[in-house]
A and B are shown apart, each in its own frame.
Chain A
Amino acid sequence: MSEIIHRRPWPLNTVIWLFVLCWVFIAGFPFLWTMWGSFKVQGDFFSKADWAYAISGVRTQVETGGAFTGDGYFGSWITKSFWVAALNTMIVVISVVVISLTLGTLGGYALARSGKKYAFYLLMLALVFRAMPHITLVSGYLLPFFEWNLWGHLPTAIIVMVAINQPFTLWMLHSFFLNIPKDLDESAMVDGCTRFQAFRRVIVPVMWPGVVTTGLFSFLLAYNDFTVTATLLSQANQTMVPKIASFLGTTQTEGNVMFAVAAVVSATAPLFLLVMVFQRQIVSGLTSGAVKG
């Protein structure tokens, strides 16, 4: 039967192919182009003479002697100490993921097994906090943090991000734990486990798919965040995204724009890998909300 559905007239087929190709081009080309350009000098990537210079690398040949140059990367990572920002990002992201997953699994499991209908309120909370612009929350945090001298440190930003993310994490893990049959831990408890042992020995081994999906979204939130990190961290503790934004403020001099380009490409690379490895989980995470909600 599906054969008949899938047979369609050739003009329609062509249109579909063209459309999808077009979309793939629009979606993918900017990244490809920027990656290619990051190995050129500014005279090529922002060419006043001819945009084709960016492909052939005429100025790059003249200025550095090769068709490709790592100057942008060297400048941003070493000279402008982008590596510090990368390190900070790693600390922040890993802590946010670990903390929010720990709280989320324990809390989500407890809520799922407590028998009351929390799902709705959790969902509402998650929705409301998704809707709230982060900056409004941050403007509330800022003054007390100044008063208590907490401003500018990495742990502060980590705690704030965990807090913003927690309702969502709880809701996702909660609905995931609801899908694990109750019989599983009940039978473990009949066999003499305590509640916590049942959780550790029976639930933990089967919960990884849900945890991975939720962790991915915490990761994306922490990694992509600009508002919280830009306003709550001091210059020395900046993570990658605000660092790139600050590059822009100071990089009007010749050649330095390429630092920002190189930094952008370096910051995008981990996300590429992430999507490549976890595509299935990201898609399922995005759609589970839709199917259930």
Chain B
Amino acid sequence: MVLFIALPIGSVFIQSLHIEHVAVLKEVKNCGPFGCKLEVQIDVEASAQIKEEQPLGKFNGFGTYKNRNHLATRELALAWTDSPNWGKFLSKTYNLPFYRALAFTLTYTFVVTPLVLLLGFCIALGVNSLPKQFKGPTIFVSLLPMIVTPLIGSLILFWMIDAEGILGSMLQWLFEDPNLSLKASPTLTWIMLIIYGIWHSAPFAFIVFYAGLQTVPTDTIEAAMIDGASRWERTRYVVLPHLVPLIVFISLIQLMDNFRVFEPIVSFSAQASATSLSWIIYNDLAGGEGIFFGSAGATSVLTILGVAVLLIPVLLRTWRDFKGKVV
């Protein structure tokens, strides 16, 4: 386990300190029928040799972290001094790839998570009050969006909201705008991705809440009824407090899952208007323009830091709870 999990993180960190070699150039005299010319060529042998000696690339320190594609310290400082107000500064920051991805990742995480909780809770309440014979099939259908491969699920939605797909043309008809395309506008793309996120994760919240609802003590509900609590009050003051641990659990899992949002961006081909941290790393590794280990490594380390910031409060809490349990 140490081998497979601690080592990669170390390796990522080391890689992030290096950058690719600059190819060694040499001047070659190229003589043809029209006289000789000096040409600059890539010295393949020398480049290969350097690569052999230092497979990681040139040592770059924290340079990769600071360049324009990552933390962009210089650009930030420049934007800070140049911008007359916060709005300008933010819009300048937004143009830097790393911050753009961060902005989307954070927005996605913090919009999807609460909505998933809410929707999941409503569905759980609804399904819980259905007659018994309908519960099984409903749960079956509800599970589907979650179980299906994220890439495939988002593709299915993507085809439906395509301008020529069913939802896309429905929307065009609704807004009476034949040119409406969800893919063209960044805002709509964000909304689309967020809707996909909710669709994908709501079943999880639903299942957990539904299981929780089965354990709500009937005695307490009866007591509340005798005391004259209305239906709403019973839900609000008896059922909800009973489910608080589950809410913590679900939001923890959801925060983690949403922070690494990645597949929907690939299948919605939304990278023009929305990128996430995971997507940047993927693009560095498999984007087609060569592989940038250093860059990918730097983003990875930054992402891991982000996860740590998100998780530390939760971990501390769990640790306290656990200690309490043992003692």
Contacts and interface: CB of A to CB of B under 8 A. Distances in A.
Interface string A117-130: 10010011101111
A291 B218 CA distance: 18
A2 B156 CA distance: 41
A42 to B, nearest CB: 9
B142 interface: yes
B144 A286 contact: no
Interface residues of A, number: 88
6 contacts: A4-B225, A137-B9, A139-B281, A139-B296, A274-B147, A279-B140
Interface in A79-98: none
A27 B203 contact: yes
Interface in A138-186: 138-144, 147, 159-160, 163-164, 166-167
A31 B282 contact: no
Q: Which secondary structure dominates chain B's binding surface?
A: helix
Contact of A271 (B147, B157, B260): B147
A139 B300 contact: yes
A58 interface: no
Contacts of A144: 11
Interface in B33-70: 55-56
**Most A CB atoms within 10 A — which of B130, B166, B311?**
B166
A51 interface: yes
A136 B141 contact: no
Contacts of B71: none
Given A127-B315, A164-B5, 9 more contacts: A16-B126, A24-B138, A31-B156, A47-B164, A140-B12, A142-B296, A144-B11, A241-B151, A290-B212
Nearest to B260: A133
A54 B303 contact: no
A92 B159 CA distance: 28
B129 A6 contact: yes
B15 interface: yes
A48 B12 contact: no
Interface string B112-152: 00000000001101110110000010111111110111111
Instruction: Select the residue from A37, A223, A286 with max chain B CB neighbours within 10 A.
Output: A286
Contact of A33 (B56, B164, B166, B282): B166
Contact of B293 (A143, A220, A224, A260): A143
Interface residues of B, number: 95
Interface string A198-229: 00000000000000000000001001101100
B307 A132 contact: yes
Contacts, number: 248
Contacts of B160: 30, 33-34
B155 A12 contact: no
A154 B199 CA distance: 32
A275 B143 contact: yes
Mostly, the A contact residues are: helix
A130 B256 contact: yes
B156 to A, nearest CB: 5
Contacts of A264: 152, 155-156
A140 B3 CA distance: 12
Given A137-B8, A139-B293, A260-B155, A124 B303 contact: no
B207 A286 contact: yes
Given A129-B5, A144-B11, A226-B263, A138 B156 contact: no
Contact of B12 (A28, A139, A268, A290): A139
Contact of B159 (A46, A120, A279): A46
Given A241-B151, A279-B143, A1 B262 contact: no
Nearest to B8: A140
A226 B149 contact: yes
B140 A276 contact: yes
Interface string A8-26: 1000100011011001101
A37 B160 CA distance: 10
Nearest to A42: B164
A111 interface: no
Query: Most chain-B Cβ atoms within 10 A of its Cβ — which of A20, A160, A163, A272?
Result: A20
B152 A227 contact: no
B259 interface: yes
A46 B162 CA distance: 8
A275 B140 contact: yes
B106 to A, nearest CB: 14
Given A131-B256, A134-B260, A140 B9 contact: yes
Interface string B271-307: 0000001100110111000010100110010011001
A163 B1 contact: yes
A117 B56 CA distance: 41
B82 interface: no
Contacts of B291: 142
